[in-house]
Amino acid sequence: MRCAGIDIGSRTIEIVITEKSKIVDCRQTETGYDPLMQTKKLLKGLSYDRIMATGYGRNLVEIEFDSPTVTEIKAYAIGAKELFPAVTTVLDIGGQDCKVIALFDNGKIKKFEMNDRCAAGTGKFLEVMANTLGFDINEFGDHALSAKKDIQINSMCTVFAESEVISLISKGQSRNDIALGLHKSVARRTISMLKRVTTNGMIVFAGGVAKNPCMRDLLAKLLEQVIYVPENPQTVGAYGASLLAQEKM
């Protein structure tokens, strides 16, 4: 049976089609201002027997496509568990939120934490900062990795951090060094959330921010353990949703 999982996030929409647990198709697009239209476009020409929606826009799809829904927390847990059977903790940093999910051995959710309403520590924060520094978000991590010096950034709030960055630029600090400082501040915040849940065992890092090499590096260094990143970190939620569609009648 072909099952579609669709993850409507704040920045991107992903669709994964599976047969049994094997991915047979996978697509991605920007969410934009009309997620429903984007979803329709993305689904065009795809054939599937069942569909399951997740992500913050899941309820849009629920009505339009008569699709059952699942929270991104459960979807990420299921997707990560399939990809890394030994996983105990899933870290997902996406466009507007950051989540840590602890799993029991059988894959059930033990506990989770999620940031509250502000953008601190999320993909959005990094994006705004990359913009302020004039970097492409896709290369932001590489620039940070080539920093020569450690600069401490104190504000976690997007608004205050932006003015802090501007004042550092005007003091003549290098953009790469500032970039590293920003990555470190996000990493520290992420680690404190991880510690509130658990850091024992295997950590799988998913979501758009997992593509950032500097974030992966910092987390591994600061936690002194290997951080596992799926090949396609942004599609873990959609993959999880499609697996769930396989199970559910």
Partner 1 sequence: MSQDYHQMWSDLGLDLDAHDALLDVLSKAYGDIYLSQNHRPETMQYFDFVMSEVHGLRIKELLDEKEQGRKIIGSYCVFVPEEIVLAANATLIGLCSGADFATEEVEQFLPRNTCALIKSSFGFKLGKVCPYLESADLVVGENTCDGKKKAYETLNDLVKNLYVMDLPQVKSNQGRKLLKSEYYRFKTEVENLTGKTITTDALKKGIQIVNNKRKAIHRLSNLRRSNPSPISGLDALLTNQVFFYDNPERFTDSVNKICDELEQRIKQKIGVFPESTPRILLSGCPMAVPNWKLPWIIESSGAVIVGEESCVGERGVRNLTNDSVNTVDELMEAIIDRYFKIDCALFTPNPDRLNHIKEMVEAYTVDGVIHYGLQFCQPYIMESIPVEKVLEKNSIPILRVETDYSMEDVGQLKTRIEAFIEQLK
What is the closest distance, in whole angstroms, from the C-beta atom of residue 65 to partner 1 in the complex?
19
Does position 111 interact with partner 1 (CB under 8 A)? The reply is yes
What is the closest distance, in whole angstroms, from the C-beta atom of residue 95 to partner 1 in the complex?
13
x/- letters, 29..68, toward partner 1 (CB under 8 A): ---------------------------x------------
What is the closest distance, in whole angstroms, from the C-beta atom of residue 220 to partner 1 in the complex?
27
Does position 109 interact with partner 1 (CB under 8 A)? The reply is yes
What is the helix (H) or strand (E) element at residue 60, kind and residue range?
helix 58-65
What is the closest distance, in whole angstroms, from the C-beta atom of residue 202 to partner 1 in the complex?
20
Please identify, using beta-carbon distances, which residue of 70 and 80 lies nearer to partner 1: 70
88 φ, ψ to 5°?
-120, -25
29 φ, ψ to 5°?
-150, 170
Confirm if 52 and 166 have CB atoms less than 8 A apart: no
Q: What distance, in Å, lies between the first and last C-alpha atoms of the chain?
A: 12
> Binding segment for partner 1 among 1-9, 70-78, 174-182, 183-191 (CB under 8 A)?
70-78
Does position 205 interact with partner 1 (CB under 8 A)? The reply is no
Nearest to 128 by CA among 116, 140, 143: 140
x/- letters, 84..103, toward partner 1 (CB under 8 A): -------------x------
What is the closest distance, in whole angstroms, from the C-beta atom of residue 96 to partner 1 in the complex?
9
94 φ, ψ to 5°?
-115, -160
Residue by residue, DSSP assigns 81-98 as HHH-TTEEEEEEE-SS-E
| Near partner 1 in 114-143, by CB under 8 A | 114, 116-117
SS3 string, 118-142, reads CCCCCHHHHHHHHHHHCCCHHHHHH
What is the closest distance, in whole angstroms, from the C-beta atom of residue 164 to partner 1 in the complex?
21
What is the helix (H) or strand (E) element at residue 169, kind and residue range?
helix 158-170
* Site residues for partner 1 per CB under 8 A: 56, 70-74, 97, 108-109, 111-112, 114, 116-117
